[in-house]
Structure 1
Amino acid sequence: MQGFPLSNLEPPAPSPPAPPPATSEPAALHTVHTAELTRLRDTIDELLLLVHQQNAEKQQLLLTLATQVPRLREANEHLILATFGAQDMQNRAETANRRQSEFMAMLAHELRNPLQPVAVANELIGRLSGAHPDLPRLHAVIQRQTSHMARLVDDLLDVGRMRAGKLTIAPQSVTLADILDAALETTLPLFERRRQAIRLALPDVPVRLTGDMVRLTQVFSNLLINASKFTGDGGAITVTAELQGGMVEIHVEDNGAGIPLALQPRIFDLFTQGEIPHDQVRAGLGIGLALVRAICELHGGSAGVHSAGPGLGSRFTVSLPAHASHAPE
């Protein structure tokens, strides 16, 4: 029996694969390009808007500069004129200050010249006190007034030195008690004449300072004279001292006219004076307290004041370095 060849029994050859479906690549590229163009257009729009804003700001800035430059130029011109004016005023003030200092120095020298023969003549009058019963009283009056004039002349000379930066000290080891004794020796006749009580209270231990004996005596003489001048007859002045660390604080307190609060910050300024009590004649030049502060500062110390107001007395405080061995432990 004739059969079929085996080759006829092989499975049929597979058919070729079907071609892939047509892709949408051109459409995808178109979508991508469209998105990129949109983003690019948005970016360009943002940049244009930014440029527009910057141009607007630039125009505003230019407008502002156009308005402000003339004002700045005018202000600068005023500033230059004011600077020259201030410099001119400073020069005139310095010239006036120098002339004032020269005048005070000349005045002091002119006043000192006749004082010496007056003092000598008064000393001779004192030797003749027995010749007439009125001579002792007259001698005391002349002595008191010449001493007062001598102090004013010395203060005038010291003010000239102070303003010229030539006020000096000669430091030495001194005690506070010796300084105050010398100051009281000068001012005690003033207190006695006005029946004013003076009380002195010092620490139990000796207080030693390194300072100029003459200048420090001048400080406390001026403070005591000032206290007497602004305290009525029969008033009281108290001098106390206390050690505070390496400093000693000396207080000169009175129950006199007091100082207005507004005047206290400048009471140590040159030519500044408080109100004299009604029963007194204004005296002095307003330079004593300025010298007090200057001399204290030359010693590394300070001077201050406190008053509760008019009619309530005053308290002047001088603070000076104390000798280290006598500072409280």
Structure 2
Amino acid sequence: MNASTAHTSRRPLILNVEDREGPRYVKSRILHRADFSVLEASTGQAALSLVRQHTPDLVLLGTQLPDVDGLEVCRLIKNDPQSARTLVLLTSPGVSDSHRRVQALNGGADSFLIEPVESEELVSSINALLRMRGAEDAFRRTSQALHENEDLFRQLAEALADVVWILDPTTGRFLFVSPSFESLWGRPAQSVLQDPHRWLEWVLPEERSRMEAEWQSMLRDGRLDTEFQLERPNGEIREVHMRAFPVRGADGRCLRVAGICQDVTRHKRAERTLHNEERRKDEFLAMLAHELRNPLAPMRSAVDMLQQFSPSREDMFRARDIIGRQLHHLTRLVDELLDVSRFNQGKITLRRDLVELRGALNTAVETVRPLLEERQHALRLSLPEQPLPIRGDMVRLTQIFANLLHNAAKYTPEGGTLAVEAAAADGKVIVRVSDNGAGLSPSLQRQLFDPLAPESGNPLEEMPTPDATSIGAANLAASPAPGLNALHAEHDDRHGDAPRPCEPASDNEAFATREGAGIGLTLVQKLVTLHGGRVSAESPGRNLGSTFVVELPVEPWQNWHPPTGKARPQPGAAHTIMLVDDNADALEAMTMTLETLGHTVVTAPDGQSAVACAASVRPDVVLLDLGMPTMDGFETARRLREIPELRHARIVALTGFGQPDDRRRTRAAGFDLHLVKPADLGALTRMLDELDA
């Protein structure tokens, strides 16, 4: 094998420069799989040294390095005659502004990518640069004998997927256009060979004058680096990156201009997708804050009543039930929000249970009660005595009516009146949520549930957004509470008076701000539709209030079996349990629970204390927190396993970390069980019962 053949067949050498170990490892794997040879560097100085030693074909260079800024490393590579022709592909995390991109290209970078980047896009970008360098090298090697080697160049250009062309700058005419022109433009290359300005007619009109000016500038200096959009004959829009450079003779004169046109439509769409994902992430975080606060409000009210007043026994039971239900809300909400894979896929999980709709309505009212009391609203709740069986998801049904009530309360001035009425007729349950607030204009009623309606003037900044991701992640947990009607009616019964009329707004502000209310309500429409129902809105006009009507199919009463209630866990044999947690409140609460069940409990505030006393305590079970300072739960478990007296003890992780990777880690560390906080009492009881089996 001669030297020329060896050079042609060798794998391209890529220098991967990234200070973060994880991203560096991922990029290197991608490059290896794409059949590249790879060198790695974590600092700018190391990169410069490797460039001089190995002369890589391309440097994949991160901008954020610990010693030298990536832009400066690029400048040093390009200013060194020994490495000036080394290709540099700069990468920058996050959304980079145009100024940063201009800096990179002006500093000599051959291309610029925004991270995170898909593996196919990364490999395609590198291959495109290597193809470009191949074309540049071919032009450079053949510039002195351009005509003699024209056949060789044609073979090279025609083998490329990108459009390669050669122009005579003196006449402005194309000497060569590769056949791939037709694949990109959808028109024969012969058309631009005959009329060199014809291609400008196919550029989008709004970009045509700019491209004509840039083309004239290229005819003067031979250089061009720009992007534009063209329209194919079938109306399809393609995005193109065009780059040109001069081919000079021995005397330095520009003999030819060589260029390449690359179809970057997929790349640009990926950039826009990344931008949209960033926007959706921001919307998700805003929704997260809103949804987490919902169950906290009634819990706060119940705790305040217990702490600041002398509640009756009946009120204490009601407060206990409220806290229990809302804790169930919050626990399931957090579980769903932390399900990262489902969040990324934008899926909605809808249970198909037989549920009692009155329970969903009561829990929804309970959730919004603090807002109603804050704004001094009167609420009229009218529910039938007979059950309202629905086939669906109690959590999602509660979410529907909580959002409608929250919306009504927000757009009704203080002292207004809200009403929730439910009735069954003709195989349907009809629920009407009414208010005497700002009302809805006719135009808003038409577009209220349209997810594409304009967002300007939308005051529902706290309502969940209607896209698939938000719908998939949002979750207000609920459980039936058929006996709460009296509790919810107490507010109206105590006042006895007729509700105060809603004061009319002094100007158009309240009515106008409602004009954007439909954005948040598309979430309600989506969930109602998934339950086989429909939702609509009615309003007589300004300051006359509005009514939202939800219709849901009734499940035949023969299929309805009311819930029997949650059985109290029966205490089994007594055990000695060691609790290890750096949270004093968590220790105290769990100790009270376990001692109530008849167990002996020993507590330790950290891992060292647990290891020190474990041999003398000889616990049957160790409930161990993972995220403790100094000695975490994994190290504590390892040391406990080394104590002979604990060889038969069960070590259980009791932690807030509940992702699949966390469970795999605890299994690998020797834990017998993984329970996620707040631990379900039934799960704890079953685990302890297994000791007696």
Q: What is the TM-score normalised by the length of structure 2? A: 0.28
With over 3 angstroms needed to count, the CA separation of the structure-2 counterparts of 1:157 and 1:302, relative to structure 1, is: farther
1:100 is matched by which residue type in structure 2? Answer: R
Name the SS of the counterpart of 1:291 in structure 2: helix
- Residue of 389, 401, 406 corresponding to 1:225: 406
CA RMSD of aligned residues (A): 5.0
With over 3 angstroms needed to count, the CA separation of the structure-2 counterparts of 1:285 and 1:239, relative to structure 1, is: closer
With over 3 angstroms needed to count, the CA separation of the structure-2 counterparts of 1:80 and 1:294, relative to structure 1, is: same
Per the alignment, residue 556 of structure 2 pairs with 324
CA distance in 2, matches of 1:231, 1:186: 17
CA distance in 1, matches of 2:415, 2:289: 37
Whether 1:267 and 2:499 are equivalent positions in the alignment is no
With over 3 angstroms needed to count, the CA separation of the structure-2 counterparts of 1:124 and 1:232, relative to structure 1, is: closer
How far the C-alpha of 1:229 sits from its partner, in A, is: 0.5
On the 8 A contact 1:207/1:326 being kept in 2, the answer is no
CA distance in 2, matches of 1:111, 1:200: 25
| Offset from partner CA, 1:277-319 (integer Å, 9 cap, x none) | 7589x89997642221121122122221112222221111111
Identity %: 34
CA distance in 2, matches of 1:220, 1:315: 12
Alignment of 1:97-112 (within 5 A): 97-105=276-284
CA distance in 2, matches of 1:127, 1:211: 34
Name the SS of the counterpart of 1:309 in structure 2: coil
CA distance in 1, matches of 2:395, 2:430: 19
- Residue of 414, 429, 442 corresponding to 1:248: 429
Name the SS of the counterpart of 1:253 in structure 2: strand
2:439 is matched by which residue type in structure 1? Answer: G
Alignment of 1:56-135 (within 5 A): 79-84=233-238, 94-105=273-284
On the 8 A contact 1:224/1:252 being kept in 2, the answer is yes
| Offset from partner CA, 1:124-163 (integer Å, 9 cap, x none) | 9999869xxxxxxxxxxxxxxxx9xx8xx98x969x9789
How far the C-alpha of 1:267 sits from its partner, in A, is: 2.2
1:250 is matched by which residue type in structure 2? Answer: V
Name the SS of the counterpart of 2:443 in structure 1: coil
CA distance in 2, matches of 1:195, 1:126: 18
With over 3 angstroms needed to count, the CA separation of the structure-2 counterparts of 1:313 and 1:275, relative to structure 1, is: farther
Structure 2 stretches lacking a partner, 5+ long: 1-201, 203-230, 240-264, 293-298, 310-326, 461-504, 560-693
Structure with bigger RCO (C-alpha 8 Å, 6+ apart): 1
Alignment of 1:268-287 (within 5 A): 268-270=449-451, 272=455
- Residue of 347, 353, 357 corresponding to 1:176: 357
CA distance in 1, matches of 2:288, 2:373: 31
Per the alignment, residue 83 of structure 2 pairs with none
Whether 1:187 and 2:368 are equivalent positions in the alignment is yes
Name the SS of the counterpart of 2:421 in structure 1: strand
Stretch deviating more after TM superposition (270-279 or 214-223): 270-279
CA distance in 1, matches of 2:352, 2:238: 44
CA distance in 2, matches of 1:169, 1:251: 23
2:234 is matched by which residue type in structure 1? Answer: I
On the 8 A contact 2:419/2:435 being kept in 1, the answer is yes
On the 8 A contact 1:259/1:274 being kept in 2, the answer is no
How far the C-alpha of 1:268 sits from its partner, in A, is: 2.7
Name the SS of the counterpart of 2:529 in structure 1: helix
Whether 1:235 and 2:467 are equivalent positions in the alignment is no
Number of corresponding residues: 233
CA distance in 2, matches of 1:162, 1:308: 39
Whether 1:307 and 2:461 are equivalent positions in the alignment is no
With over 3 angstroms needed to count, the CA separation of the structure-2 counterparts of 1:163 and 1:224, relative to structure 1, is: farther
On the 8 A contact 1:303/1:317 being kept in 2, the answer is yes
CA distance in 1, matches of 2:300, 2:540: 46
Per the alignment, residue 200 of structure 1 pairs with 381
CA distance in 2, matches of 1:80, 1:303: 41
With over 3 angstroms needed to count, the CA separation of the structure-2 counterparts of 1:285 and 1:238, relative to structure 1, is: closer
With over 3 angstroms needed to count, the CA separation of the structure-2 counterparts of 1:240 and 1:325, relative to structure 1, is: same
On the 8 A contact 1:206/1:326 being kept in 2, the answer is no
1:233 is matched by which residue type in structure 2? Answer: E
CA distance in 1, matches of 2:390, 2:302: 35
| Offset from partner CA, 1:208-247 (integer Å, 9 cap, x none) | 1111111111111111111110001111111112223222
CA distance in 2, matches of 1:243, 1:122: 33
CA distance in 1, matches of 2:350, 2:395: 9
| Offset from partner CA, 1:250-290 (integer Å, 9 cap, x none) | 1101110011111223323458576697589x899976422
On the 8 A contact 1:208/1:326 being kept in 2, the answer is no
CA distance in 1, matches of 2:276, 2:440: 28
CA distance in 2, matches of 1:318, 1:230: 19
CA distance in 1, matches of 2:304, 2:388: 41
Name the SS of the counterpart of 2:234 in structure 1: helix
CA distance in 2, matches of 1:78, 1:314: 50
How far the C-alpha of 1:104 sits from its partner, in A, is: 3.5
How far the C-alpha of 1:170 sits from its partner, in A, is: 1.8
How far the C-alpha of 1:82 sits from its partner, in A, is: 4.7
Structure with greater strand share of residues: 2
Per the alignment, residue 290 of structure 1 pairs with 522
On the 8 A contact 1:195/1:235 being kept in 2, the answer is yes
How far the C-alpha of 1:175 sits from its partner, in A, is: 1.1
On the 8 A contact 1:183/1:220 being kept in 2, the answer is yes
How far the C-alpha of 1:204 sits from its partner, in A, is: 4.2
1:189 is matched by which residue type in structure 2? Answer: P
| Offset from partner CA, 1:159-195 (integer Å, 9 cap, x none) | x978954121222221121111111111112212222
Bigger Rg, structure 1 or 2: 1
How far the C-alpha of 1:90 sits from its partner, in A, is: 7.4
CA distance in 1, matches of 2:384, 2:337: 35
Per the alignment, residue 394 of structure 2 pairs with 213
Alignment of 1:10-49 (within 5 A): none
With over 3 angstroms needed to count, the CA separation of the structure-2 counterparts of 1:124 and 1:307, relative to structure 1, is: closer
How far the C-alpha of 1:84 sits from its partner, in A, is: 3.9
CA distance in 2, matches of 1:163, 1:242: 39
Name the SS of the counterpart of 2:441 in structure 1: coil
How far the C-alpha of 1:93 sits from its partner, in A, is: 5.8
